[in-house]
Homo-oligomer: A and B are copies of this chain.
Amino acid sequence: MKSNRIPVHAFRADDSFVGRVQKLVREEVIPYQYEILNDNLPDVEKSHAIENIRMAAKKLQGEDVSPDAFYGMVFQDSDVAKWIEAAAYTLAAVKDPELEKTLDEVIALYGASQHEDGYVNSYFTVKAPDRTWKNLREAHELYCAGHMMEAAVAYYEATGKRNLLDIMEKNADCIYEQFMHHNTRGYGGHPEVELALMRMWRATGKEKYKELAKHFVDVRGLAPNFLAEEEAGRDWNIWNHTVELDTDYTQSTLPVREQKDAVGHAVRGVYLYTGMADVAKETDDAELLAACRNLWDSITKRRMYVTGGIGSTVLGEAHTVDYDLPNDTVYAETCASIGLMFFAKQLLENEHRGEYADVMERAFYNTVLAGMQLDGKRFFYVNPLEVIPGVSGVAPTHRHDLPVRPQWYACACCPPNVSRIVSALGAYAYSENESTFFIDLYAGGTVETQKGLTLTCETAFPHFGEVKYTVSGAAETTLAIRIPDWSENTMLTVNGEAVDLSACVDGYAYIIRQWQDGDTLALSLDMTARVIYASPKIAADTGKACVQRGPLAYCAEEIDNGKILPLMIREDAVPKALDFEPDTLCGIVPVVIDGWEVQETKTLYSTEKPKLVEKEIRLIPYYTWANRGENQMRVWMPVK
């Protein structure tokens, strides 16, 4: 059964968990990131992203601009796009005329950097105007365009303003002309425009955008490889040195319908699969949907961390092979888990199966939130499940696995990506169609359905399992609420009467009734902290376990326990949730579990059986790690 996500503005968070993070993004992160994009923070990695656009605009107005005026990555524009998109979502929640004014200024600047024919990209305008559309493999032109299209749709939906949407329609028309009539075998080395064009189609109703999205999906990976052919006819590249074409990295090894395994650059993969799933849904392409399901299984059943992280190697920021999930040299890019949420949501829109939402939730509450410091000022790009200061960030194999979050990155894709997924969370939490309103994630606040109901959700999720929805308005309709896979004993009541959960379909309880003002739908989830074991096929986790409570993976940090490496979980231990600690890490429910501490040995290797001392191990939610300085951290610990 197909469905659509709700518009972002249909959900208003209250001041519980999701609302608090959204507020943090709105009040701290968005202004902070705007300062960074304008290079106003002296101690932070230089961005220059706004200035690049200004230079492009000046050049178009006839000013003399040096090619060297451009600074940063070839995809620097996309940082601005993601920031606009995130800011637009925050406007959907809280009006902010000053922010809106700032956005309009940035949009006007961006518009001034647009060429007559609709082309817009500061890198090529300033630095290489004769090289447009000639290096689809590396140049990220379609990627940047895609992000700005998403921003345009977001701003239009949030404010009704067409300023950015008009710019991006003109740009999309330019791209349509280029790729449907001239460069008909071409597609971007970094997928993104596919999913963005589908959003443009929804916002504008222009069928050509859907047609172009489908075209990009269809031509990708056809033999002979377009990116290789393009390369052969070019004597320059973006990075000043030749990098051999890796077709997995560029998601171009096979036509998408033939792909079985998630390979290559993890972010590029999930962005592509999201576009595929959307095209599959909107063109009723069962073959394409089947390919999406295969890729989903490849990721979530064989190549995903317990934290919802994906992409286990820094080499190409990529998937490797099945069950190769090292905890210490892991990549698990924040953006990849955000993209996994995109993919999950898009699959949910095709068919409501709880496993999609379960993974979406796993990614959000663990890797995605871990990507941002609790004060919104620092960000992880890479999300390790084990950190040993002195090794992590230092040993050549661990140099990317940092023990503390940096402020910003030269390649700053992740921080603004966190902002936009957090700000848009309502759209991920709910879906609807003619017959049914779906509750996919639990988030405190109010949501309006197409049928005229307003649901007010009260919950302290993810720390507590009570989720209560109170209905305003009246309508005969179906409410479908997800019963997560991790909740072993779940209770659902309507107006206090238990619902028979044995009738759940694919992880959702469907309640068809004439809903009345004041009706309540109350979900009680099983928040028992549980020990989790990995498949013995995962070499890195053999003999180990971790703890999960609700959707939250837990970890042990040195600041709570002393050194973590000598700690082992007791085989028969039952983890115990402590009382909520409002002042710890912005409010958490710590978990303790009985364990052992191995005494330090005198020699590197020894026949002496390790001396064990009983030790209660204190665990915290993974998303809160590295907020108290550099220290040892582990998710998976040996069991003894």
Which of A71-79, A211-219, A605-613 interfaces with chain B?
A605-613
- Indicate if A568 sits at the interface (CB-CB under 8 A): yes
CA distance A536 to B610 in the complex (A): 9
Whole-angstrom distance from the CB of A296 to the nearest CB of chain B? 13
Q: How distant is the Cα of A328 from the Cα of B321 in the complex, in angstroms? A: 14
Please report which residues of chain A, range 526-583, place their CB below 8 angstroms from some CB of chain B when the two chains form the complex.
530-539, 542-544, 548, 563, 565-566, 568, 571
Report whether A604 and B538 are in contact in the complex, using a CB–CB cutoff of 8 Å: yes
| Distance A82 CA – B565 CA, assembled complex (angstroms) | 43
CA distance A640 to B534 in the complex (A): 15
Q: In the assembly, how many copies of this chain are there?
A: 2
Instruction: Indicate if A163 sits at the interface (CB-CB under 8 A).
Output: no
Whether A604 lies near B534 (C-beta < 8 A) is yes
Q: Which chain B residue shows the least CB distance to A599? A: B536
Residues on the B chain within 8 Å of A304, using CB: 604
| Chain B residues in 8 Å Cβ range of A568 | 542-543
Contacting B at CB under 8 A, from A262-321, are 300-302, 304, 306, 312-313, 315-316, 318, 320-321
Query: In angstroms, how far is the closest chain B Cβ from the Cβ of A387?
Result: 10
In angstroms, Cα B601 to Cα A535, docked, is 6
Q: In the assembled complex, which residues on chain B have CB atoms less than 8 Å from the CB atom of A535?
A: 600-601, 603-606
Question: Is A498 at the interface (CB under 8 A from chain B)?
Answer: no
A104 to B530, CA, bound (A): 73
B397 touches A313 (CB 8 A): yes
What separation, in Å, do the CA atoms of A304 and B603 have in the docked complex? 12
A320 touches B531 (CB 8 A): no
Q: A321-B391, A398-B324 are in contact. Are A609 and B539 (CB under 8 A)?
A: no
Q: What's the Cα separation between A610 and B543 when bound, in Å?
A: 10
Q: Is the CB of B543 within 8 A of A565?
A: no
Whether the Cβ atoms of B328 and A532 lie closer than 8 Å is no
Report the bound CA distance from A543 to B587 in whole Å. 32
Cβ contact within 8 Å between B533 and A606:
yes
Does A396 sit within 8 A of B, measured CB to CB? yes
Chain B residues whose CB sits within 8 angstroms of the CB of A601 once the complex forms: 533-536
- Measured between alpha carbons, how far is A536 from B597 in the docked complex, in Å? 10
Residues of B within 8 A of A324 (CB): 391, 395, 397-398
Instruction: Given A530-B607, A607-B530, verify A395-B536 contact (CB < 8 Å).
Output: no
Q: Is the CB of B571 within 8 A of A533?
A: no
Task: Say whether A226 faces chain B, with CB atoms less than 8 Å apart.
Answer: no
* CA of A548 to CA of B606, assembled, Å: 10
> Are B391's CB and A543's CB within 8 A?
no
Query: Which of B320, B536, B600 is in CB contact (< 8 Å) with A600?
Result: B536
Interface centre among A304, A328, A391 (most CB of B within 10 A): A391
A397 and B544 alpha carbons, distance in the complex (Å):
22
Tell me, rounded to whole Å, the shortest Cβ–Cβ distance linking A304 to chain B: 7
The answer to the question of A255 belonging to the interface, with a C-beta cut-off of 8 Å to chain B, is no
> Which B-chain residue is minimally distant from A571 (CB atoms)?
B640
Whole-angstrom distance from the CB of A573 to the nearest CB of chain B? 11
Residue of B whose beta carbon sits closest to that of A314: B397
Query: Does A329 belong to the interface (CB within 8 Å)?
Result: yes
The answer to whether B326 touches A532, judged by C-beta atoms less than 8 angstroms apart, is no
Whether A639 sits at the interface, judged by CB under 8 Å, is yes
- Nearest CB on B from A396, distance (A): 4
- Report the 9 A-B pairs with minimum CB-CB distance, sorted nearest first: A543-B638, A320-B395, A536-B566, A315-B396, A536-B598, A530-B607, A324-B395, A324-B391, A321-B395
Q: Told that A302-B604, A533-B610 touch, could you supply 8 new A-B pairs with CB distance under 8 A?
A: A320-B396, A321-B395, A329-B329, A532-B606, A532-B607, A535-B605, A536-B598, A537-B565
Q: Offer 13 A-B interface pairs, CB within 8 angstroms, sorted by A.
A: A326-B328, A329-B329, A386-B539, A388-B539, A530-B607, A532-B606, A533-B601, A536-B566, A542-B568, A543-B637, A543-B640, A571-B640, A640-B640
